[in-house]
């Protein structure tokens, strides 16, 4: 049975997805969007983290990992994974999946938000993952610092964030000119729309102040979200996935992905770049 530690730290300004677990499962994880996302993340990690496919046991921290798709993938490769999430419902879903896959002994589940990391005394990890979390937080730069502090020397940070520039581009394509003119703001946020999309230039600036070196940048859903009806694309999903993986590390396509995925390495000495 995986260890499930209960921790609570209220952050009224940030979003708890407990009430949206079902929507996430149906509208993201179980769709072509989710399949593209997982394919890109797995490809990038496999290419950039040298020990991932080797018969070694490394430590992984998945912050805001929700139902644990990537955590379970890494646990199945033999690594020791700690999954931290603010939603008890999503952690329960991750627990059921871990039990079904027989990897419960390799996963520790902790109920807590990202901001609680300094209080959890978790130590440092060979790989820290934080995917689609920053855009729901108010203190985004501080969150990057907290994540970096959890890295071992020469550890890797896998970061994915909602790309405000791509959101702007997509809404121009859709003809939502008023929405773009108003700074992509609406009176009331609804559904699964992120509260605080990030400008890539801001993220690059914040990361430049941390002991991190970018290894790769990929766009996530570079083409998918610009299709009027993805279900009617010629040759289907497999052809779309092939093209996404072929072009999503090349410009200008990488910068057009609805999400941006970065793999960064923790530097033991300051970078000259």
Q: What are the tokens at 73?
A: 């993938």
Can you tell me which residue has the tokens 């992120």?
Answer: 194
**37 is known to lie in a ligand binding site:** yes
Backbone dihedral region for residue 64 (phi beyond 0: left; psi -120 to 50: alpha; all else: beta): left
**131 is known to lie in a ligand binding site:** yes
Q: What is the DSSP string of 89-142?
A: HHHHHHHHHHHHHT-GGGEEEEE--GGGHHHH----EEEEEEES-GGG-S-HHH
Among residues 231, 159, 63, which one has the least CA distance to residue 239?
A: 231
Can you tell me which residue has the tokens 């609805």?
Answer: 258
**111 is known to lie in a ligand binding site:** no
Maximum separation of any 2 CA atoms in the chain, in Å: 54
Task: Let me know: does 266 contact 152? Beta carbons within 8 Å.
Answer: yes
Q: Rounded to whole angstroms, how far apart are CA atoms 38 and 42?
A: 6
**261 is known to lie in a ligand binding site:** no
**65 is known to lie in a ligand binding site:** yes
Residues 6+ away with beta carbon under 8 Å from 119: 7, 9, 112
Q: Rounded to whole angstroms, how far apart are CA atoms 188 and 4?
A: 35
**Binding site: residue ranges?**
37, 64-65, 85, 131
Known binding residues for S-adenosyl-L-methionine:
37, 64-65, 85, 131
């Amino acid at each position: 049975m995986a260890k499930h530690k209960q921790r609570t730290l209220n952050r009224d300004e940030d979003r708890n997805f407990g009430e949206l677990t079902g929507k996430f499962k149906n509208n993201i994880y179980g769709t072509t969007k989710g399949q593209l996302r997982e394919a890109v993340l797995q490809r990038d990690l496999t290419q950039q983290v040298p020990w991932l496919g080797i018969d070694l046991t490394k430590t992984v921290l998945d912050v805001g990992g929700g139902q644990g798709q990537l955590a379970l993938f890494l646990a199945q490769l033999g690594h020791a994974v700690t999954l931290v999430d603010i939603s008890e419902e999503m952690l329960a879903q991750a627990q059921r999946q871990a039990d079904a896959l027989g990897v419960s002994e390799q996963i520790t589940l902790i109920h807590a938000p990202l901001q609680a990391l300094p209080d959890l005394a978790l130590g440092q990890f060979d790989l820290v993952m934080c995917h689609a979390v920053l855009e729901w937080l108010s203190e985004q730069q501080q969150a990057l610092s907290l994540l970096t502090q959890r890295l071992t020397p020469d550890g890797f940070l896998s970061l994915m964030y909602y790309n405000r520039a791509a959101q702007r581009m997509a809404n121009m394509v859709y003809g939502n000119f008023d929405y773009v003119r108003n700074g992509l703001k609406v009176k009331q946020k609804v559904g699964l729309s992120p509260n605080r999309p990030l400008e890539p230039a801001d993220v690059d600036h914040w990361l430049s102040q941390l002991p991190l070196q970018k290894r790769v940048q990929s766009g996530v859903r570079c083409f998918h979200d610009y299709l009027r009806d993805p279900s009617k694309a010629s040759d289907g999903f497999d052809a779309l996935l092939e093209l996404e993986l072929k072009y999503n590390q090349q410009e200008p396509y990488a910068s057009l992905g609805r999400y941006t995925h970065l793999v960064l390495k923790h530097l033991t000495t300051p970078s000259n770049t």
